[in-house]
Amino acid sequence: NPHSLTPVKEGNGSILNKLTAAFKAAVLSAYPNGQDFPCPITHGDQWEAQGTKILKTNPREIAQNILQHLQTPNPWIESTEIAGPGFINIKINRKQVSHSVREILTEGIKPPPNTTPRRVVIDYSSPNVAKEMHVGHLRSTIIGESISRLMEFLGHEVVRINHIGDWGTQFGMLIAHLQDKFPNFTKESPPIGDLMQFYKESKKRFDEDEVFKKRAYQCVVSLQSKDPVYITAWHAICDVSRKEFEKVYARLGTKDLIERGESFYQELMKKVVKDLTAANMLEEDEGRKVMFADGADIPLTVIKSDGGFTYDTSDMAAIRHRIQEERGNWLIYVVDLGQATHLQSIFACAKKIGWYDPSKVRIDHVGFGVVLGEDKKKFKTRSGDTVRLVDLLDEGIRRSEAKLLEKERDKVLSKEELDKARDAVAYGCIKYADLSHNRTHNYIFSFDRMLEDKGNTAVYMLYAYTRIRSIARNANLSDDDLKSAASSTEISLSHEKEFKLSKLLLRFQDVIEKIADDLCIHTLCEYMYEVAGVFTEFYDNCYCVEKNESGKIIKINMERILLCHATSKVLAQCFHILGIDPVQRI
């Protein structure tokens, strides 16, 4: 009798994986050459395994054969049945599902089991000093932070690196301009208010004034030879940028990002060049030294014709440092797709020189598309300037506040709650809009759209979450009450909608496992949206709290309240991975 099976502890479920594994084993034992035998388990109320297209025999016979080889009893499977032209319907064991849902409540949400912990070195945000930190860097910051959180949830050790562009020839003109504008810079920090403006001014002079240009080149030489005055100037300029970046990070809640910009790799670059030369990897090309490798569409320029190093050289030094010094065995680069060829070449060349063994070190370029304005053109201000991130965040705050006032939330929330809700909506909607799109696509930045409360938006999700949280609160049950109820209450899942919701909650681990593989966070947002929808179906059909006509509670269905609570826990975990703060009241 399958009902009498003892439920097993399996880290909160992951039903799809378990069934897939069981059926894969059955297929292999029925057909020893059946490695490629399709065995997709789709989800739905009846889960089906299908595997009849390859063998040209009677499909029902094949299904029969597979079932005979299926290891039973399996705690997740209550019964199976052959249907139609060789489908196998699987009835999931309710008792096991119920057990796993209670485990969410008593033990918390667990990552999928069997993850081998790695040391993940992730490069994200990585803006450039003095140049604008633009929406592309915002995307990198948001996606990178979320992937870092996912990695931590999976049990990996995460090193977050901010590979800022803080070295290079542009510092020549910046320093020359600094000397003219703020000659006092060695004594006091120069009051550069707007570094972007400062950059533009110096660029203009550089392009128009030959004498200035010559001086700028001289400045580069002096900086590279570590002349203390020039180093001071360089520090001063970097400091202004750093302060700007930090404002953005503080607002987005980006922590633990280690600044390790291009300048960090100066000595290592020399070593890289030395070793690449010794290994005979460099070729002469019109005065430049380049490196080719299989898998690299374009060669790297390791040394320019004037003897200087490039972005390529610093990335070669960086990858080596991340593998050999930082001991990363999973490197992740969250960088726009425009740099895909550059990164592919870096990875290929690093492999060629033998800095890593691809079977031991995983390297991913997590690329993303361009941010577009509502006119589908490059995201710019009306006057054609790049949008400053701080201004963008300010506008988000204004718009979110307006939205909350439009909904008259000021009548229900205290001032403090309103401020919290405003921030959660503003930053939440910017993050969610980015993360809920397939990162490889370009995406259109639109406050109007991201602040909508229908569809898969942050506002919708935040409301859904607080509504679910409020159900238990309105029944006067605290988190502690719920926790102790969870350990003593059987959840029977007798209503179909309860069962459906529970199975979906247990799919959380499957979703996480998929994202850990393809690093596409939008799948998590889709899942959250599905959870909110299925929850609504459940809530519309199943009374959790019954009240009499005067609104007094007459009956509390504890099993269902526990399901609400489990739902909110799963959603809270999703929010955490997205880097979004789900407020208590909104």
Rounded to a whole number of angstroms, the distance between the first and last alpha carbons of the chain is 48
**Helix (H, G, I), strand (E, B), or coil: what is residue 282?**
strand
Cβ proximity to ligand ARG: between 127 and 428 the closer is 127
- Cβ at position 245, least distance to ligand ARG in Å: 12
Rounded Cα distance, 416 and 293, in Å: 58
Residue 231, number of CB atoms within 10 A of its CB: 14
Looking at beta carbons, which pairs linking 197-204 to residues 24 or more positions away fall under 8 Å?
Answer: 198/130, 198/174, 199/130, 199/131, 199/132, 199/170, 199/174, 201/177, 202/173, 202/174, 202/176, 202/177, 203/173
Minimum distance, C-beta of residue 164 to ligand ARG, in the bound complex (Å): 6
CB of 367 to ligand ARG, least distance (A): 11
Given a contact cutoff of 8 angstroms between Cβ atoms, the answer to whether 504 and 530 are in contact is yes
**DSSP string over 523-545:** HHHHHHHHHHHHHHHHHHHS-SE
With respect to ligand ARG, which residue has the nearer C-beta, 13 or 367? 367
Closer residue to ligand ARG (CB): 14 or 128: 128
Q: How far is the CB of 244 from ligand ARG (least distance, A)?
A: 14
378: left (phi over 0), alpha (psi -120 to 50) or beta: beta
Amino acid letter at 442? N
Q: How far is the CB of 137 from ligand ARG (least distance, A)?
A: 6
Task: Return d(Cα 566, Cα 150) in angstroms, integer.
Answer: 20
Match 């949400």 to its residue by tokens: 109
**Chain residues in the site for ligand ARG (CB under 6 A):** 123, 126-128, 163, 165, 315, 318, 333, 335
Minimum CB separation of residue 336 from ligand ARG in Å reads 7
User: Closest approach of Cβ 143 to ligand ARG, in Å?
Assistant: 13
- Asked whether the beta carbons of 109 and 146 are under 8 A apart, the reply is no
Q: What is the phi/psi pair of residue 473, to 5°?
A: -65, -40
Min separation Cβ 210 and ligand ARG, Å: 29
CB of 196 to ligand ARG, least distance (A): 14
* 108 backbone dihedrals φ, ψ, rounded to 5°: 90, 170
Helix or strand holding residue 333 (H, E): strand 330-336
The size of the chain, in residues, is: 586
Nearer to ligand ARG among residue 47 and residue 245 (C-beta): 245
Residue 183 preceded by cis peptide, ω within 30: no
- 114 contacts 512 by C-beta, under 8 angstroms: no
Q: Say if CB 528 and CB 571 are below 8 A apart.
A: yes
Least gap, CB of 340 to ligand ARG (angstroms): 11
Whichever of 337 and 572 has its CB closer to ligand ARG, that residue is 337
Closest to ligand ARG by CB, 145 or 315: 315
Residue with CB nearest ligand ARG? 126
Nearer to ligand ARG, 10 or 123 (CB): 123
Measured from the CB of residue 159, what is the shortest distance to ligand ARG in angstroms? Answer: 14
Q: Are 460 and 532 in contact (CB under 8 A)?
A: yes
Q: H helices within 287-414, ranges in order? A: 311-320, 340-352, 389-406
